[in-house]
Amino acid sequence: MALERSPDAPAHDGARHAAHLRGLNLERVLSVAADRPGAFTRGELITATGLSAPTVGSLVTHLIRIGLLHDLGTGPSSGGRRPSFMEFNGRHGFVAGIDVGPTRTRLAVADLRGERLAYRVMPTPTQLSPAGLLSRTANEVRALLQEAHVPSGRLLAVGAGMPGAVDRERGMVVALAPNLRGWSQVPVAALLKRALGAPVVVENDVNLAVLGERWRGVARGHDTCAFVYVGTGIGAGIVVDGELHRGHHFLAGEIALMCMGPQFVDRDFGTRGCLETLVGLKALASHWPRAARGDSDHWIAQLFQAAQRGDRRARKAVDETATLVGIATANLSLVLDPSLIVLGGSLITQGRPLVQAVRRVVARIVPRPSEIVVSTLGKEAPLWGSLLLAIEEAHERLRQQLRRTRGSLGARGAGA
């Protein structure tokens, strides 16, 4: 494609247009390079981008010079000119992921390819104010960055998962999250950005779980799918045609509020919602006296073991939970008609027999049931989703940096 300029146009207009076009081509080459899992050649970049060889050569030289690509040298010849190999520099920058849970918070640092370099789990300090909790979390992230030997200023983005309804555009928790007092209209992104000095993307934790499963877990290759979380709280993350579906009021997937029968319509279940009140951990604990002893993982395991041994009370609690979760999953399946539904959360990981029961309930309700599977990422699914969002934000930041340097690049090689 030849770059042409009207004879009446000022020369600086042509130069500005050429620099703009070169910047777009830089972004194009970078996008292709970042998506390649390993080494590639200039010829492969030419084929993938549709740009000319001189253009790709000029752009690659620039990207190598600023450190976004590694020059790996030439490979063996297959009869012609020896190919020149390169790869995307995943260590040009780094990202952090945060998953704030009702009882535990998970943190990770990764490079731009998603390779985790450091990881830790900390108790969620629920006794603190939202600002205090986020300050404590930011301190832990800084310590993790030091552990991963991330140079100062090389943290490009942070992804943060929060329980509750999240306005992603404003980076704010807009509705009360379970077990976290005062978490309404909390500017999470602004507080974390101020503490960490990097852009922060905030998302609902179950939304992140479905993204994590599509990236690194059991939902890879599924463009319309859902993640149903059953634990301290209940919720669903929904992807439609490859895009996360949040809803007009950021309430898509809030199945905790789902009414399970006409007898519940006029009953006040408070802000926690009908389904969650009936089958959440608190509801299940009320049917199992031993729940008062030990942490939830311990007593949930005891409950399911007792149910398998034939304990009537345990069996009834498990059966009622499976039925209600199955009805909710079936309703979601009928509305969405996904190719896959992933089940996760402490009640699922600790009670595999519950999964079989849920499948049976769904099969009785849905004419052609979706495949129902257990999360392969387990409790780390939201954390992987937060790293994915951070990487996407980091790539956008790199593109913005390339745009800001357009004026200094000149017009050479702008066309293809």
For the chain, the structural domain boundaries read 11-89, 94-205+382-396, 218-375
Selection from 384, 379, 382, 322 nearest residue 352 by Cα: 322
Residue-level pLDDT at 293: 62
SS3 state of residue 235: strand
Domain 11-89 shares a fold with domain 94-205+382-396? no
Q: Which CATH number fits domain 94-205+382-396: 3.40.50.300, 3.40.1360.10, 3.30.420.40, 3.30.1060.10?
A: 3.30.420.40
pTM confidence score: 0.88
CATH class of 11-89: mainly alpha
Distance of alpha carbon 389 from alpha carbon 215, whole angstroms:
11
Distance of CA 83 to the CA centre of its chain: 37
For 109, half-sphere exposure in the C-beta direction (CA atoms, 13 angstrom radius) is 22
For 18, half-sphere exposure in the C-beta direction (CA atoms, 13 angstrom radius) is 19
For 230, half-sphere exposure in the C-beta direction (CA atoms, 13 angstrom radius) is 30
Residue-level pLDDT at 13: 61
Residue-level pLDDT at 9: 45
Residue-level pLDDT at 414: 39
Low-confidence ranges of the chain (pLDDT < 70): 1-17, 75, 77-80, 176-179, 268-273, 291-294, 405-416
342-377 tens-digit pLDDT: 999 988 887 777 899 999 999 999 999 999 999 999
100-158 tens-digit pLDDT: 988 899 999 999 999 999 999 999 988 999 999 999 999 999 999 999 999 888 999 99
Residue-level pLDDT at 2: 33
Q: Which CATH architecture has domain 218-375?
A: 2-Layer Sandwich (3.30)
DSSP element (H, E) containing 222: none
